[in-house]
A and B are shown apart, each in its own frame.
Chain A
Amino acid sequence: MPPFAVRAWSATTALGRGVQAQHAALLERRSGLRPNDFGPDNADGVPLPCWIGRVDGLEDAPLPAQFARWECRNNRLAWLALQQDGMLDAVRDAVDRLGAERVALVIGTSTSSIGASEEAYRDLQPDADGTPAFPPELARPIVHTVHSLGDFVQQVSGARGPCITVATACSSSAKVFAQAARLIEAGVVDAALVGGVDTLCGSVLYGFNSLQLVSAQPCRPFDADRDGLSLGEAGGFALLERVPADNRSLRLLGYGESSDAHHMSSPHPQGLGALQAMNEALARAGIAPEDVDYLNLHGTSTPANDRIEAAAVASLFPARLHASSTKGWTGHTLGAAGIVEAVFCLIALQHGTLPGILNSATPDPACGPQIRFDNAQASIQVAMTNSFGFGGNNASLVFGVSA
Chain B
Amino acid sequence: MSALVATIEGVGFWATGLPGWDSARDFVRDGRLPEAPPARPSPQLLAPNERRRAPGTVAVALEVALAACEAAGRDPASLPSVFASTHGELAITDYMCATLADQPETISPTRFHNSVHNAAAGYWSIGTGATAATTAISAYQATFAQGLLEALVQLATGVPAVLLVAYDGSSVGPLAKISPSAGLLGGALVLSRSERAGAMRLAATLADGEAPAAAGPLAARDPGNAMAPMLGLFDALASGDRHTTLSAGAGRILQLSLHEPSLHEPSLQETGAQRRG
Contacts and interface: CB of A to CB of B under 8 A. Distances in A.
Given A118-B100, A147-B143, A203-B96, A160 B116 contact: no
Interface of B: 1-2, 4, 77, 80, 85-88, 93, 96-98, 100-101, 103-105, 107-109, 112-119, 121-123, 125-126, 128-140, 142-143, 146, 149-150, 152-154, 156-157, 173-175, 177-179, 206, 208, 248-252
B125 A392 contact: yes
Main secondary structure of the interface of A (DSSP, over half): mixed
A70 to B, nearest CB: 12
Question: Which of B109, B116, B139, B146 gathers most chain A CB within 10 Å?
Answer: B116
A146 to B, nearest CB: 4
Contacts of A209: 105, 107
Contact of B118 (A114, A273, A393): A393
25 contacts: A117-B175, A118-B101, A122-B100, A133-B177, A145-B86, A163-B250, A164-B138, A164-B139, A167-B118, A167-B136, A168-B117, A168-B134, A179-B153, A182-B150, A187-B2, A188-B149, A203-B96, A205-B104, A207-B112, A209-B105, A258-B133, A259-B131, A261-B129, A391-B123, A393-B136
Given A162-B149, A206-B107, 7 more contacts: A134-B177, A145-B87, A163-B250, A207-B96, A207-B115, A208-B112, A391-B125
A163 to B, nearest CB: 6
Nearest to B249: A163
A261 B131 contact: yes
A179 B150 contact: yes
A154 interface: yes
Interface stretch (A74-82, A136-144, A239-247): A136-144
A391 B118 contact: yes
Interface residues of A, number: 74
A113 B88 CA distance: 14
Instruction: Name the 10 nearest CB pairs between A and B, nearest first.
Output: A391-B122, A167-B117, A257-B133, A207-B112, A259-B125, A121-B97, A186-B156, A146-B138, A202-B100, A210-B109
B108 A210 contact: yes
A261 B135 contact: no
B138 A261 contact: no
Nearest to B159: A182
Interface stretch (A23-31, A229-237, A262-270): A262-270
Contact of B251 (A145, A150, A160, A258): A160
A361 to B, nearest CB: 30
Contacts of B130: 259, 261
A146 B226 CA distance: 13
Contacts of B104: 40-42, 48, 202, 205-206
Interface string A379-403: 0000000000111110000000000
Interface in A119-140: 120-122, 124, 127, 131-134, 139
Nearest to A165: B138
A205 B105 CA distance: 10
Contacts of A291: none
A135 B240 CA distance: 47
A270 to B, nearest CB: 12
Interface in A217-257: 257
Contacts of B2: 187
A175 B152 CA distance: 17
A261 B128 contact: yes
